[in-house]
Amino acid sequence: MNPLAVEIWIYVLAAYVSVSFTLFVMARFSPYEWNNPHPCHQDSDIVENQFSVSNSFWFITGTFLRQGSGLNPKEYQRMHARFFSFLTPFAFDIWVYMAGAYIIVSITIWIVARFSPKEWREMELCYECILRKYDEEICAHNLMNESDVSSGIGSDNCETENDADLRNGEMELFLDQGPCGHLHSEVTTLEMLENEFTLGNSFWFAIGSLMQQGSDLNPKATSTRIVGGIWWFFTLIIISSYTANLAAFLTVERMITPIESAQDLAEQTEIAYGTLEGGSTMTFFRDSKIGIYQKMWRFMESKKNTVFVKSYEEGINKVLQGNYAFLMESTMLDYAVQRDCNLTQIGK
């Protein structure tokens, strides 16, 4: 009687008596509980009602004592934190599909931008002349040909004083990818077209949209804007779903129950299990003819010095310490689980 307070036993006894008496009274007035017509019936001779006072008490007692055995392991184990736990909100297949969509959209934007006239703009390209004489370099910027070099040597664009440097030097001519700077009045320039959506910029535009950061690239043509808009809508759904799932994964502690049945308990050795020494559950496992229960009994008997307990309180304390499951009657187990949220019940 130790697991239950005195008041609880008084309430149980009061409910037991009141329900038994109620059953007795109701059965006396119910015509369906008589094996012959009701005593008030004019054709009745001998009648019998099986719901006597003693039978009513036995009905309640039998219901209360009709119980099984259950496991009482600790409720959960904490999941170990992983370095890539931020990937858990989505399945592996989802990540693969997202990577494929990212590559396809980036290449699509690049191709569409190449064929769209509005994505091309004029870019002014100039030549730069480097004059090498001995170990010195003399630069002339924004020059187109040798005549421009000759006229530009004496200008502010160069660091030389006379034309002799041009005649005695070796001239190299290469393309400057940037726009022209301060152009000399006699310099010839070249008009060319430029497309901002190169292959690298297209990938950068897509990843910037996916990460909700944006980029300096803005689609100008209707075709590229349609592709970009579809990609933005896709990223909106993905980011919203990922944020909601990530918050749930990080704030709600996931519970895992390694044991789901007596068979799971019997097939492992990491978690020990036992019963109340000398109790009915111990007798059940000892005398059972079922193979799984015989296997469990052999395990408990081999570790009888550690798995059997003297009282229910001792068994529950061993459960709370971890790596132990306590086998006990389901009625007592229900009471223990309701009093301690760290306990859970498996089986009936």
The model's pLDDT over 282-307, given as tens digits with 9 standing for 90+, comes to 888 888 888 888 888 888 888 888 88
Look up the CATH architecture of domain 262-339: 3-Layer(aba) Sandwich (3.40)
Question: What is d(CA 264, CA 48) in angstroms, rounded to the nearest whole number?
Answer: 51
The pairing of strands 136-140 and 324-329 is unpaired
Provide CATH code, domain 87-122+193-251: 1.10.287.70
Q: pTM for the whole thing? A: 0.40
User: What residues does each domain of the chain span?
Assistant: 6-65, 87-122+193-251, 262-339
What pLDDT does 44 receive? 45
Predicted confidence at residue 311, as pLDDT, reads 86
**Which own/partner contact pairs does 283-288 have at CB distance under 8 Å and 24+ positions apart?**
284/69, 285/327
Q: What is the pLDDT of residue 33?
A: 53
Greatest mean pLDDT among 122-131, 157-166, 281-290: 281-290
Q: How far is CA 147 from CA 143, 144, 154, 253, 306, in A?
A: 9, 8, 12, 77, 102
